[in-house]
Amino acid sequence: MRKTILKSFLLFSVLIFGQISFATEKEEQHGEDGHGKDLKTEIKEYISHHLQDSHDFSLFSYTEENGEHKYVGFPLPVILWDEGLKVFSSSKFHHGETLAEADGNYYKLYHSKIYKTDAEGTINYDKEHHPTNAKPLDFSITKNVFMIIVTGLLMFWLFTSLARSYAKNGGIPTGVGRFFEPIVLYIRDDIARPNIGEKRYKKYMPFLLTVFFFIWFLNMFGMTPLGINVTGNIAITTALAILTFLITNFTGTKDYWMHQFNPLGDSLPWYGKIPLYIILVPIELLGLIIKPFSLLIRLYANMQAGHIVIGSLIGLMFIFKNWIGSPLSFGLAFAIMLIEVLVALLQAYIFTMLSALYFGFASEDHHAEGHEDDPELVHL
C-alpha cells in the first residue's frame, strides 16, 4: 500500500513539476521584454488549470527548440448543439490555440468554455471584460464526465462480480470481494441501522452504498497524476447534495413534515404558539436548505484545498531553488499526500453518515405529544 501511494505521489509530482517547469521556461523566454509573468503567477495559473475541468486529458507539456509547444495527453469528444448537433474531437482546439470548424461554424475554446466566433477567432467583450459571444449548448464528454463514467462502470463491474461470488459460494465472497464486504457491512450495521432504524434502513441502502463508493473512488482518482478533481468541482458536489435533499424530503413521513410546520406539537394552546411559530417555522424550513448546503460545501472545500496545498508545496521547489528548501517542500508535500488519502475516505464516510442521519430524521415516527422520540434530540 505504501509503495502504491509513493508511486502515485511521484507521478503526481513529476506532472506538476513538468507543468511548472514549462511555466518557468516561459518566464525566462518572455520575462525580459515585460510581456511575461512572474514565476509565482505562473505557478498559481498552472495549479488552477490542474484543478479545472477540461475538454481533454493533458498530462504535461513542453517546448521544443523551435518554440513549438507539445502536449502529452489525449482528446475527448466535443458535443455541441448549435442549430443542430455538432460533434468533433477536442484536438481541433489544440488546447485553445486554434479554432475548431464544424459545418461552416467556428468555435473557440476560451477559459475552458466554448464560444461561437468567426474565422478570425474574434472574442467580443462587455464593459466588465466578459465575453459576449454566443455559447452553444455544451454536452461534451469533459475530463470530469469521463471519470464519472469510468467510476460508474468500475462500480458496476465490482459489485456485480461481488454478487456473483455470493451466489456461487453460498454467501461467501471471493477475490476482491473479501476487501469490500467488510466496508459494505460497516455501512449497513454502523451507519444505516443506527441512524435510520431497523424498519426502514433497507430502502436507503442502495443510495448510501452508491454515494459512499462513488465519492471514495473519485477522491482516490483525484490522488492520481491524471489531473482529476471531480469532487473538487462544486457542480458535482451540488448534484450529490440535491439527491440527498430530494430523497430526504420525498420519503419523509407525515410526522416529519408535521414537525417542520408544527414543531411544538400540542404542548401549548394555539394562541400561545403563534409568536413562537413566527420564529421556529422559518428556522425549520431554512434547515431543509442548510443541510444539503453543508454537505456540498464540506466535500468541495476539503478536496479542493488538498489539491491546492499539494500543488503549492511542489511549486515552492521552483521558488526556493536550493538543496535545503526544495527537499523540505517535497517531503512536506508527500506527508500531505498521505493525509489526503485518509481525507479521501473520510469525506466519503462523512457524506454517507450525514445523509443517513437526514434520512433518519425524515423516516422516524414521532409521538404526537411531547416529541419524546424527536430524532434531533435523540442524535444530540
Q: Which three cell numbers stand for residue 380?
A: 444530540
Q: Which of 112-126, 264-278, 366-380 has the highest mean pLDDT?
A: 112-126
Confirm whether 119 is domain-assigned. yes
Quick one: which of 194, 136, 242, 207 has its CA closest to 375?
194
Query: Residue 131 forms beta bridges with which residues?
Result: 125
Note whether 223 and 129 are same-domain residues: no
Phi-psi region at 60: left, alpha or beta (left = phi > 0; alpha = psi -120 to 50): beta
Considering the domain boundaries, does residue 321 fall inside one? yes
Residue 123 and residue 263 in one domain: no
Of 87, 108, 140, the residue that ends a domain is 140
Give domain status of residue 66, yes or no. Answer: no
Rounded CA-CA distance 334/13 in Å is 9
Model pLDDT, residue 70: 72
Average pLDDT over residues 232-250: 92
Segments forming the whole domain that contains residue 115: 77-140
Query: Residue 332 corresponds to which cell in the numbers above?
Result: 512536506
Pairwise CA distance, residues 292 & 348, whole Å? 15
Grid cell locating 69: 509547444
For residue 270, name the pLDDT band (cuts at 50, 70, 90): low
**Predicted pLDDT at 268:** 60
pLDDT of residue 83: 85
Domain boundary among 122, 140, 158: 140
Q: How many CB atoms lie within 10 A of CB 16?
A: 25
Q: How many domains is the chain built from?
A: 2
**Which one has a higher pLDDT value, 334 or 19?**
334
DSSP for 158-181 reads: HHHHHHHHHHHTTS---TTHHHHH
- In this structure, are 228 and 254 located in the same domain? yes
What's the pLDDT tens digit per position in 72-114? 778 889 999 988 899 998 888 887 788 888 888 899 998 888 9
CA–CA separation, 181 vs 215, rounded Å? Answer: 18
DSSP collapsed to 3 states, 55-81: CEEEEEEEECCCCCEEEEEEECEEEEE
Tell me, what's the pLDDT at 364? Answer: 73
**What average pLDDT does the segment 316-322 reach?**
77
Do 247 and 126 share a structural domain? no
